[in-house]
Amino acid sequence: MTLAFGAIGFVIVLWWSATGAIFYLDRLPRRALAWSITAATVVLIASLVGLGASAQVATPVGAFAAFACAIGIWGWNELLFLTGAITGPNREPAARGLSGWPRFRAAAASVIHHEVVIAASGVAVAALSAAGPNRVGLWTFLVLWAMRLSAKLNIFVGVPNPGERFLPDHLAYLAGHFRTAPVGAFFAVSITLATGALALIAAFGAGQEPSAFEVAGVTLVATLLALAVVEHVFLALPWDSAALWGGKRLSRPSGDVNSRCDESDPKRLLHPAEA
């Protein structure tokens, strides 16, 4: 029980501090961009090496190490995206009235390069994890990948709180692909599937005595998935989750796109170019 509680605390602290660190680095002056990416790349290399080593260690320490390394690899991907270093070929606000397949294609073109890099990172994580019995790093990365993709699709389809305030000013054009709307069937399905997956993970080992490694690994992955579900819930709430990091946002208040849009129609696309 102590091991499980320790794993839960570890995930919460690492999730909160890693997200805060990415926010901090991306709020630095643009001239510090190269230093931020360099520092993140050093973390990436260390994480890849650490993941390969920890994959051979099926112990609680190995589970914690693999989890932390997967977070480090994911953090590199997130920082490159938020700094604008890797996004997509389309860096223009969405055209007014765009809908259906053209809207999806425009939105996908805004992030496709980043998605390709994430996929390549996933292949690397899978290859390193396959070398040993410790697959905690792989499952951690897959949870992050699946839930981030789910969040992106929900923001595209439409949620009450798409979180455009988390976009730095140089990525404000991405808010044009967000849709502010009441939660619908897609959100319900997303939450249901994620919650069902969480229940399956939590039920692992029921009726038997799991090893300490299994307890640590399952608790780490389950806690991360639970936090991702909570982040999804934030999308449906009128509460600014930036308060979790002292109220800091990546964008400046003056760059708040949503405040300059007609709020009478919740399904209207946001147009940062008009701000």
Q: Give, as one character, the DSSP assignment of residue 58.
A: -
Q: Percent of the chain scored above 70 by pLDDT?
A: 85
Secondary element (H or E) of residue 61: helix 60-82
Rg for the chain, CA atoms, rounded: 19
Which tens digit of pLDDT belongs to each residue from 107-120? 999 999 999 999 99
**Per-residue buried b or exposed e for 72-89, using 16+ beta carbons within 10 Å of the residue's own CB:** bbbbbbbbbbbbbbbbbe
Q: What is the pLDDT of residues 181-231, one digit of tens each?
A: 999 999 999 999 999 999 998 887 555 788 999 999 999 999 999 999 999
How does residue 23 score in pLDDT terms, banded at 50, 70 and 90? confident
Q: Which residues contact 70 (CB under 8 A, 6 or more apart)?
A: 47, 51, 125, 136, 137, 138, 140, 141, 144
Predicted pLDDT at 19: 80
pLDDT in tens, 57-70: 999 999 999 999 99
User: Which amino acid, one-letter code, is at 154?
Assistant: N
User: CA-CA distance, 210 to 3, in Å (whole number)?
Assistant: 12
What average pLDDT is seen over the chain? 84
The string of pLDDT tens digits covering residues 222-247 is 999 999 999 999 899 876 665 555 55
| Measured distance CA(134)–CA(137) in Å, rounded | 8
Q: pTM for the whole thing?
A: 0.85
Say if residue 71's pLDDT is above 90.
yes
State the Cα–Cα distance between residues 98 and 165, nearest whole angstrom: 22
Strand, helix or coil for residue 205? coil
Comparing 55-59, 101-105, 267-271, which segment has the lowest mean pLDDT?
Answer: 267-271
